[in-house]
Amino acid sequence: MDNPSVSCSLSWRDESFLPNLNATTALYYFCQLSNPFYDRTSNNEIAKMQRLDYSQLSTMVGLEYELLVAQEPFLYVICKQMRTSPTTATPITYYYIISGTAYQCPDVYMLIRNKLTSALYCLNQGFCKAEEYIKLKESMKKNLIQQKQDDPGSVAASMGNIINSTVKEFSDQ
């Protein structure tokens, strides 16, 4: 899972395991080989193959998964971390299991990127509307100027003056 945007759109679920999902089994559930989020080179896999208890993971150096939060029966949070000593581990990625389905938590970069993309889309839409408004004002101005030239004493002439001043104020801003 090198591409965070792809992995954040993935989910994983194992129907056969779900009846047994609880705080004790959540980490075992997550650490199945069929889970695309699970790294087979992790200490969890080594512990499984050597039939060690997961409590011994803290003595091993390397990549591991740890259950951080368990709010039975619906929510479990798992941390993928790099353990450098029995007391030090650096978080890499967080995953959550909601009602048996595992997802990767988005990182701060992805959250900010998505918010900025949304904001830029709205700004672009605003600029498009402003451009339409300006084009409409310019075409109205041209029509009124033409009418003004045809009949200098008409209402169109006075409206043309008003629109000219409005457009000038708008363009000065």
3, part of any domain? no
In angstroms, the Cα distances linking 60 to 2, 40, 57, 78, 160 are 24, 15, 5, 18, 82
Per-residue pLDDT at 151: 62
- Same domain membership, residue 152 and residue 71: no
3-state secondary structure of 89: strand
Phi-psi region of 14 (alpha: psi -120 to 50; beta: other; left: phi over 0): beta
Number of folded domains that form the chain: 2
CA distance linking residue 170 with residue 43, whole number of Å: 65
pLDDT-based confidence at 139, cuts 50/70/90? confident
Angle at the Cα of 50 (from 102 to 36), degrees rounded to 5? 20
Q: What is the pLDDT of residues 88-111, one digit of tens each?
A: 999 999 999 999 999 999 888 888
Q: Which residues constitute the domain of residue 155? A: 111-165
HSE toward the beta carbon, residue 76, CA cutoff 13 A: 22
Compute the mean pLDDT over every residue in the chain, rounded to the nearest whole number.
Answer: 84
63, part of any domain? yes
Number of C-beta neighbours around residue 131 at 10 A: 10
- Same domain membership, residue 76 and residue 31: yes
Average pLDDT over residues 14-21: 87
6, part of any domain? no
- Same domain membership, residue 121 and residue 97: no
51, part of any domain? yes
CA distance linking residue 83 with residue 57, whole number of Å: 9
20, part of any domain? yes
Per-residue pLDDT at 62: 96
- Same domain membership, residue 92 and residue 128: no
pLDDT at 31 over 90: yes
Q: What is the pLDDT of residues 54-101, one digit of tens each?
A: 888 989 999 999 999 999 989 999 999 999 999 999 999 999 999 999
